[in-house]
Amino acid sequence: MAVAAENQFQPPPNDLPYVLILKPPTAFSIFGDHFFDSPKFQFLKPFESPLPLPHFLLTHAQSVQAILTSASGSVTADTIRLLPRLGLVVTTSQGINHIDLSECRRRGIAVAGAGTIFSTDCADSAVGLLLDVLRKVSAGNRYVKQGLWSSQENYPLGYKLGGKQVGIVGLGSIGTEVAKRLEAFHCSISYNSRSKKPSVPYTFYPNVVELAVNCDALIICCALTNETHHLIGKEVLSALGKDGVIINIARGPIIDEKELVQCLIKREIRGAGLDVFEHEPDVPVELLALDNVVMSPHNAVCTTESLEQLRKTVVGNFEAFFSNQPLLTPVPLDDLPHLSESRMYKKLLSSNKLIWHTGKLKDMMLVEILLRLDIAVTNTAGVFSAAVAVKISAAGWYVRHGLWSAEGDYPLGSKVIISPFSVSLHKLHTTRSWDFMGLNDHSLANLLTTSNMSEGIIIGVIDTSNK
């Protein structure tokens, strides 16, 4: 028995494929070391290593074939480019906005999520929060526990859910489950989504403001994207009105939190039920004293049953990948939208300065310029049609994460050539900066010509002034 127990805790053979656990999912705290039960792969846990994450990734770059992460663990293009053998990213969340999907598509890296595992739990929480706000359940609980029942007048009446007009923002798997539950309360349901659902009986509003005008409660169920960031602002909240209630079980940044706080304080809306916040785990202190707000710590998805199902799904996705079988819950990447011309231009203008710090760079040092696939090459005339923009990749990542001072010279020496779009900086002897907000095709063309740059532009900074 002793020998069997000893063998049970021996590390797996070294020839098993490696999975990098970039961010431990919540389920780790529940299942512990038994979260995974598969003899087909082994795990790298940087959070148990004394090495800083960037150093850890560089050390194990050639070993990692898959990544496991959660909603709070970003999988950026910089991280992906450090892992040449990476073939799969699995997230334990239903949302995928923390993964650079465009870079995954460019590299041919598969992505798997939680699928619809959490849809029913999130829907239960959404309706529960709505009931709580309307019927003042949590506020009444505090009222009784504080001994106010016997010393004050009757507690203020709440409001019924039955028959209310409820608008759902995002009628995906979660929004659909919310609607099913609200039907049992005989609510009148309407929705906003990217497009009208052909077989759905609910009223469709293409505009969120129009949806808010026509409902008593607004439930946020959509994904967080560039388009939905601060989708719910002052205009939508004003349209919802002083008798309106807003529920968010999606992502915090979908709501402009500052505007929401002010509306709640001024009683410009009736109340809010919030499971998510814009800057988690920080919650606006103003909300803590408001009886018309019900809050939970981003746990709408968390039930024991769903986490067990998640464990099986995560393991199943890894086993399928390493066995060359179809993933259980794949995220489609082929239909990712490219940036439109206007979004591309907006992205370019998001940097106020175009700056090179070149004072200490060696002569003839080449810095990689990457043309990202998620920035569409449009029909715009001039420079934008041939060279749009970009990121400094491995060398810049190396500098930004403090490895230059810790590790010395970059491993490839004085030349960093990964992409054919490289720029010679040897004639840029001094720090130079230009006002990027005012550049047009003509001035950009002049800039690139005078700077001996013909293939791309750099948005960002390599700060070598103190190195």
Structure tokens at 457: 């532009």
- Residue 186: name the closest of 166, 216, 212, 157 by CA: 166
As to burial, measured by CB atoms within 10 angstroms (0-12 exposed, 13-18 middle, 19+ buried), residue 368 is buried
State the catalytic residues.
Answer: 251, 280, 298
Structure tokens at 278: 């814009």
Buried b (16+ CB within 10 A) or exposed e, 225-236: eeebeebbeeeb
C-alpha separations of 194 from 54, 80, 115, 329, 413 in Å: 38, 30, 19, 22, 49
Q: For the CA atoms of the chain, what is the radius of gyration?
A: 26
C-alpha 35/C-alpha 17 separation (Å) is 18
CB atoms within 10 A of CB 310: 24
Write the DSSP assignment of 270-319 as a string of letters: SEEEES--TBTTB--GGGGG-TTEEE--S-TT--HHHHHHHHHHHHHHHH
| Sole residue written with tokens 């990692």 | 64
Cα diameter, the chain: 82
SS3 172: coil
Instruction: Write the single-letter amino acid at 196.
Output: K
C-alpha separations of 11 from 5, 7, 239, 343 in Å: 13, 9, 59, 49
C-alpha 75/C-alpha 73 separation (Å) is 7
Instruction: Write the single-letter amino acid at 210.
Output: E
